[in-house]
Chains A and B, each alone.
Chain A
Amino acid sequence: MNSRNKYGYLFISPFFIVFSIFGIYPIFLSLYMSFTDYKGIGSPFKANWVGLQQYLRLASDKYFLQAFVNTWKIWGVNIILQLSLALILAILFSDIRLKLKGLSLFRAIFYLPNLMTVSSVALLFLYILDWQHGALNGLLLKYGFISKPVNWLGEPITAQLSVSLIQTWLWFGHTFIIIFAGIQGISKDYFEAAMIDGANRWQTFFKVTLPLLKPIMIYVVITSLIGGLQLFEIPFLISQNGLGGPEGSLVTMVLYLYNQAFKYHNFGYASAVAYGLFLIILIFSMIVFKGMFKEEV
C-alpha cells in the first residue's frame, strides 16, 4: 500500500465515523436491548437480561399480528392504486401518437403533494374527512352521492381506506416520475418497430413497454414495500391521540413499536418488535425480488 492510499482512507473516514455512531451503534444497542427488559430509565446495560423472552412474546402477540395485517391492508390498497395511476399517466404522457402538451407543468403538479410536510397533510385531511364539518361529506351530501354523512375516520374499513388514499395521493407523483423516466429510457426504435408491425396500443403496452419496464417496477415496488411496511406518520397523526383509530385499525407495525417504546416505555420489547419488523421486510423484499425475476432465472 502506498502512502496515497492512506489519504484516501482519511477522506472517506468521516462517513464511516458518523455512520458508526448514528447507524451501527444504535443497531447493535437495540439488538442488545431486545434481550433485556429495559424501560428507558438509566443505562440499558443495567437492565435485566431476559434472553429470548421478548421474542417469544412477539411471536404470540395478537396486537402485533393485528398491526401486521393492518399494515399490509393499507399498503396493499395503496400500491395497487399508486402504481396503476402512475402507470396510466406515464403511458399517456409518453405516448408518441398522443403527444400530450404541458408535461413539465403536470409533472410538477403531480409531484407537489410529496413536497408538503406530512403533518400538514394529516391536518388537511383531518379537516376534509371530519364527518360533521368536513368538506368531503359536505360535497357528497350536496350532490346527493350519499344520504347521510359517513364517519370516514370512525369505522375501521373507511379509516384504513382513507390512509391508503392519502398515501397514494402523496406518492403517485413520485412513482410517475420514476416510471416515466423508465419509459423514456426505452429506445424509440422498439415503439416504431411495433407501430410498423401493426401493433395496437394495448399490444405495444403489454408486449413492449411493460416487459422493458420490469426492473423499474421492481424498484418501485420494493422501495414502496420497505416504506409502506414502515408506515407511521399519517396513521399516527390522523388517529390524534396516537392510539391507532377505531378498534386499533390504524395501528401499523411501526406505530405499535412507537407506542410500546415511547408511550409505554417498554424499550426492550419495542427493540424486539424492531427486529421482527426488520426480518419481515427482509423476507418480503426477497419474495418480491425473486418473484418478479423468476422468468429470467
Chain B
Amino acid sequence: MKKLLSAVLSMILITTLFVGCGSKTNKNAKELEINKDKVLRVWSFTDELKKPLEYFEKKYGIKTELTIIPTENYASKIQPVLESGVGAPDVFTAEIAWVKQWIDLPYWENLSEDPYNADEWEKDYVPYVFNLGKDSNGNVKALSWQATPGGFIYKRWIARKVWGNDDPAFVGEKLSSMENFFKAAEELKKAGYKIVPDEGAIRWFAKGSDPKPWVNEKNELQLTQAQIDFMDYQKKLRENEYTAMAPEWSPAWFASMQGPVPFNAGWDKLDKVKSDKKVEVFGYVMPTWGLHYVIKPNAKDTAGDWGLTSGPSPYFWGGTWIGVYSGSDNKGAAWEFVKMMTHDEEFLNWWYQETGDLLSYKPVTDKVKDTASDKFLKGQNHYQFFLKEAEKINPNIVTKYDQGIDNIWGNVVSEYVNGKKTKEQAINEFYKQVKNAYPEIITPLDKQ
C-alpha cells in the first residue's frame, strides 16, 4: 500500500515537473507551434463566441470546444480552475467587471512579449478598449473585438407625437443636460409617456458627468458630489412619476419595449389609479450590445421606428476581453483564435455583417463607418454615433471594485428613493457596506 502510494505520489511530482519545463521552453520559442490535432478549449459567459468558433474551425481545421458559464457564476467557477490549472481552458474571456481583477494576476499570457507583440497594434484600436486590456505595468494581457459605449435608444413615434420631431440630433438636444432631461420628462409625462423605465436607468449619466474612480490610488473610497446629486435626481424621477417603475431585467422592463405596460404610480398612491391603466416607456439608457441583443429581439413589431442619441453625458457599459491562458499547452492555436477574433480584417468584416456590433478594430470600422446604417433605427448610422461616443470614454475610472460597489450603491440609493432611509443614513450605510465587503478600502468612516 505504502509503495503504491509513494509510486503514485512520485509520478505526480515527476509529471508536474515536466509540465513546468514544458511551459518554460514554450515561452522561449519565438514561433508558436500549432497542433491541429488538439482541441482548442474556450471558456466564456455568453454564447457570443459560438459562431466565431465555427468560423475558426472551418478556416483553420482545428476542433474547438466552447464552455459557457452563466455570468453570475463565471468568476467563481473559472478562478479556481485558473489557479490550479486543472481542466483549464486555452482561451478565456472576461467581462469589464473582472478584467481589472484578472489583468494583474498571472492568468493571461503577456501579449506584449515575443512571439505575440500585440502592443504594436495599439494604434489599430479604439483607445479605451486597448488600454483596459493592459496590466499595471503597461503589458497587454487581453484584447477585445468590441467597444461598448452607451447611448439613449428611443421610440421615434413618441418623439413625433410629443415634439413633432424624431430626429436624433433634436432629441439629443432635448436630453443634453440633467435640467433639460427633466424638462423633457415633464413634457413626455403630460402626453402620457414615461421617459425611462425606472430610476436606476440614469445611473450611467452620474458616472459620466464627473468621471472619478470609486477608489483612488490611496485606496480611499470616493463618493463625488455629482453622485450624491444623482440620488436626488432619482428621487425626483420617482416622485414626479416620470418612470414606469419597471426595474431593469424584470419581466415588466422587457415587456415595456414591445408596448405599454401596467403602471401603479408608486406603492401608496395605488388606490387613485385603476390597476388596468397602462403606460408606455419612451427610451432606454443602453450601450451597443443593449441595442443588438436586448432591445431588438424584444421590440420586433416596432422595428424601424427607433432612434439613437446621446444623453446628458457619455458612458460605457460592459464589454468582453479575450486572452490566452498562461498555463495552456495549446498556445499556438489559442493565439490564432485570439488574433482572428480581434485582428483579422476578413473575419471582423464578416462579424460586422453578421451582427452589426460595434467593433474596436479601426481598419474595419474606418471602412464601414460612413456607409453603416441600421434598419431597426430607421436607417440611422449607429456606427458613427457610437464611435464618436467611444472616443469620449476615460478608461482610468474603471477599478476592480466597480461591480461590487455599484451594486451596493444601487441598493442604498433605491432605499433612499423608496423613503426607507434619509440621505445621510443611506450614505452612511453605503460606507459601512463597502467596508464590510472590502476591508482594505478606506472610507470616510475610518477617518472619524
Contacts and interface: CB of A to CB of B under 8 A. Distances in A.
Interface string B190-221: 00000000000000000000000000000000
A192 B437 CA distance: 62
B264 A264 contact: no
Contacts of A259: 437
A148 B255 contact: no
Interface string B251-262: 110010000011
A266 interface: yes
Contacts of B39: none
B72 A133 contact: no
A264 B438 CA distance: 7
A264 B437 contact: yes
Interface residues of B, number: 32
The winner among A40, A61, A130 for most chain B CB atoms within 10 A is: A40
Interface string B373-410: 00000000000000000000000000000001001100
A284 interface: no
Contacts of A147: 270-271
B420 interface: yes
A263 interface: yes
Interface of A: 10, 40-42, 57, 61, 63, 127, 130-133, 141, 147-149, 151, 240-243, 247, 259-260, 262-264, 266, 269
Looking at A57, A148, A240, A266, the one whose CB has the most chain B CB atoms below 10 A away is A148
Nearest to B107: A41
A40 B251 contact: no
Interface string B63-74: 000000000100
Contacts of B264: 131-132, 148-149
A239 B123 CA distance: 43
Interface in B272-324: 275
B353 interface: no
B411 A148 contact: no
Nearest to A151: B267
Contacts of A40: 79
Nearest to B82: A41
A41 B271 CA distance: 54
Contacts of B251: 127, 130, 132-133
B6 interface: no
A264 B255 CA distance: 33
Which has the most chain B C-beta neighbours within 10 Å: A132, A264, A266? A132
A264 B403 CA distance: 10
A141 B250 CA distance: 21
7 contacts: A40-B79, A41-B105, A130-B250, A131-B264, A132-B262, A147-B271, A269-B439
B179 interface: no
Nearest to A127: B251
Given A130-B251, A148-B270, A266-B439, A247 B415 contact: yes
